[in-house]
Amino acid sequence: MDSITVSRDRVQTRVNEFVRSVYNWMCIGLAVTGFTAWYIAGSPSIMKVISGGMFWLLIIATLGLVFVISGMIDRISAGTATGLFVLYSALMGAMLSSIFLVYKFESIASTFFICSGTFLACSIYGWTTKRDLTSVGGFMMMGLIGIIIASVVNIFMGSAMVYAVISYIGVIVFVGLTAYDTQKIKNMALSQPDGLDGAVVRKGAILGALSLYLDFINLFLMLLRIFGQSRD
């Protein structure tokens, strides 16, 4: 076996380990979110607290954690980044606990499987395509900003039609972002220098997991708006 083949095998092993770590942490985050949401939904006393003013505190806390993990990843330890990600997943679960009270469980489960299949297909495309998805990612980020603005405006309008349009556009946006973020993670894995410190690799994996986690959660919520069956 020549040195070039050995080098390629080493790079491929490094890439596989990094990507496996990213998806493992994403799955851990989703599991924490799902369990927390289910547990809190079954506790009327906790739900009562969350439905009050604490819900807005949860929103502020989750937004703050995203900025801390994303913006300060180079200045915090790998253990801190991991802990913050798990904490973020739990807080997100607390925020999403109400879906178990609004939608039928069978509807939530079926939507989760639809979302998983869609997410997997988009990830495979993002990983295998030769096309540079940077422009797609930029366009989808513009769409995301539009969704946020429209959602805020619709809080005051209360339009069912606008709500439906936002949901369908949201699916397209997060499908595109999933493919883009997957390609970005692939490029991140390929650009890792040999012998990189394990803590640095862990922090990169946490950052990648956070991106995919957000894509999955938001895609799931948009699909749930479309396919979800209300308990009413």
Assess whether pLDDT exceeds 70 at residue 6. no
Beta carbons of 18 and 205 less than 8 angstroms apart: yes
Query: What's the first-to-final CA gap in the chain, in angstroms?
Result: 66
What's the token pair of residue 47? Answer: 């739900």
Q: How far is CA 87 from CA 35, 83, 104, 154, 225, in A?
A: 13, 6, 27, 30, 26
Q: Which sequence spans correspond to the domains of the chain?
A: 3-227
Residue 84 carries which side chain, given as an amino acid letter?
L
Average pLDDT, rounded, for the chain: 88
d(CA 145, CA 58): 21
pLDDT digits (tens, 9 = 90+) for 146-156: 998 988 888 78
pLDDT digits (tens, 9 = 90+) for 163-214: 899 999 999 999 999 999 999 999 888 877 666 667 788 899 999 999 999 9
pTM: 0.91
What is the distance of C-alpha 79 from the center of its chain? 20
Assess whether pLDDT exceeds 80 at residue 44. yes
| Torsion angles phi and psi, residue 103, rounded to 5 | -115, 155
Residue 42 carries which side chain, given as an amino acid letter?
G
Q: What length does the chain have?
A: 232
HEC states along 106-152?
HHHHHHHHHHHHHHHHHHHHHHHCCCCCHHHHHHHHHHHHHHHHHHH
Closest CA to 177 of 126, 220, 225: 126
